[in-house]
Chains A and B, each alone.
Chain A
């Protein structure tokens, strides 16, 4: 998650926003939106909801800009707000989308170029759907640690700070979440391990031949 905004520019944007220039804030929205989007989609499990969350996030950030004291990067600050917004129970209750709908709303990247083997595509699609479903099936608190760890690659300490929970809790939650995913993705996990073993065997065989 490499997000760097030139600090001079960041200061300017912040100052302009504080001076009540919504246009300056627009620049900030453009910069941050794309970077925040993947995390928020994964946290909420739904693209439409993610856009909702991001809108609210930016409005909240604008309202509270005075409270931003510059100890952290502006992006970090907005990221925090976005994550908290995404995990807010209110939105969850409002949403009536089912896990099936989550798949429908998957994402556009599915359309990006694939290899030519259509059966490989099929398997991959099936697997992606399974992963999305599994993530959607997790309790939001569990999904949160998984997303922040597996996708945003935050450390336990960072996750702890972000969610306001002790590091020990991050660790146990993450582990429980992975165990649950392991069950939910049982067949795929078995495939993956099998594949890995074959690869290892092939590598061994190759080594033997060389000897």
Chain B
């Protein structure tokens, strides 16, 4: 598989410095890309040269190849069921597809705000939220017929400039993008997820991280993402600076909210992590439920699943307008540092244990969401019972982490155009 001529070829930059795989700059995902025929010629030649020299690299490639082969042996599933009648029936009935899924039934919310230059003025217990969220919501789901879930926010509030900003952003996308349908659908799905997590009035924790230094927001970001390696599903909501002020945050840049479903213990360890990272800079406050439930409407929502840090991405269709995207790990070719950081990944030990832990947490969420069992029972079971200190509160917590991006619009998405509509049909 290695090209013999590559061994003596002139291009041998990485290998010339030593063993390929040990070089910090080597992105191991190249091996997968190589298997898939997705490397450009130069990178491929370099890699083949490395492979010719590096026994351990060859072994790793061999293992990946074996994985592919083993997967390929799985027979193609087939089904005798004909859906035609069922669908005709449902089309005639014209009934709603299904009631909107509830998020976690009951929870507390922890909000964390971080910033170098930003002061979080609210939200206070009785803060008023202007109308933009509910307007955006109405715009976003005109045909759903579903109940507006944020009715507690003053519906009589007049439309504001911000509200129309959200709305016009949508319609601009509508007229421009052939991907509209999927993009909106996708965006709505994310929003639903975030709503499900946020739309609960029993919010009790609000954590503000006051950063020092200009990269404090990025540090909070990293801490939360790192922590989220063990969380099956979480959302990030990016709120534009203009909208952020309506939430009571002032300062440069937008605000990021991280939404995570956690047990009490997990939320405690996240708090501890943040406290370690920001000594003396973490304080608690009471969030206004009205504000919190509006978040999914105010910003662009991305839903991620760990452990891949890069997994959390905001749709480029929307980011260009009013949300922000951290592109630092989106294109590893262009940014070797980011690539190196990512390929470091979790240690083998972490890697082995993460899926189990992840499954455990997921099973909590599923069991609770499925309404099969009482939340506290599930969580008690999942968390080692020997350590369970009798807690008066629910053992499960929705965490919302808020931070303020210091660089704001400067990082808007530029890396990638919209995907081609024909993409999937080519084969």
Contact = CB atoms under 8 A, between A and B. Distances in A.
A26 B181 contact: no
Interface string A176-194: 1011111111001100110
Of B69, B183, B352, B425, most A-chain CB atoms within 10 Å: B425
Interface string A106-149: 11111010000000000010011001100101111110001001
Contacts of B90: 55, 59
Contact of A164 (B186, B358, B415, B422): B186
A54 B38 CA distance: 31
Contact of B423 (A108, A157, A176): A157
Contacts of A157: 419-420, 423
Nearest to B143: A63
Given A25-B91, A183-B352, A164 B84 contact: no
A96 B367 CA distance: 7
Contact of B77 (A47, A58, A179, A192): A47
A95 B366 contact: yes
Contacts of A56: 97-98
Nearest to B369: A93
A84 B182 contact: yes
Interface in B73-110: 73-84, 86-88, 90-92, 97-98, 101
A152 B426 CA distance: 11
B232 interface: yes
Contacts of A124: 73
B305 A192 contact: no
The contact size tier of chain B is 35 or more
A207 interface: no
B70 A30 contact: no
A129 to B, nearest CB: 10
Interface string B28-44: 11011100101000000
A138 B349 CA distance: 17
B386 interface: no
Interface string A16-43: 0000001101100110011001100110
A49 B414 CA distance: 37
Contacts of B365: 93
Contacts of B359: 137
A74 to B, nearest CB: 9
A38 B420 contact: no
B384 interface: no
A167 B333 CA distance: 10
Given A72-B425, A149-B36, A169-B330, A128 B31 contact: no
A110 B345 CA distance: 37
B31 to A, nearest CB: 7
Contact of B70 (A94, A142, A152, A189): A189
Interface string A81-92: 100100011101
B416 A37 contact: no
B91 A38 contact: no
Nearest to B331: A168
A117 to B, nearest CB: 16
Contacts of A179: 351
Contacts of A142: 305, 308
B310 interface: yes
Contact of B92 (A1, A22, A42, A150): A22
B29 A171 contact: yes
B64 interface: yes
B55 interface: no
A156 B36 contact: yes
Contacts of A132: 74
B62 to A, nearest CB: 6
B308 A169 contact: yes
B342 interface: yes
B182 A59 contact: no
A43 to B, nearest CB: 11
A155 B38 contact: yes
B78 to A, nearest CB: 6
B422 A193 contact: no
Given A157-B423, A175-B32, A182-B67, A165 B78 contact: no
A93 B424 contact: no
B372 interface: yes
B134 to A, nearest CB: 22
Interface in B57-76: 62-64, 66-76
A92 B366 contact: yes
B178 interface: yes
A71 B421 contact: yes
Contacts of A67: 180-181
Contacts of B189: 84, 88-90
A166 B67 CA distance: 24
Nearest to A131: B74
B120 interface: no
B185 interface: yes
Contact of A174 (B32, B62, B192, B369): B32
A153 interface: yes
A175 B29 contact: yes
Given A140-B305, A161-B418, 5 more contacts: A37-B79, A55-B83, A139-B355, A162-B419, A183-B352
7 contacts: A1-B427, A60-B185, A77-B181, A155-B426, A157-B420, A160-B419, A176-B307
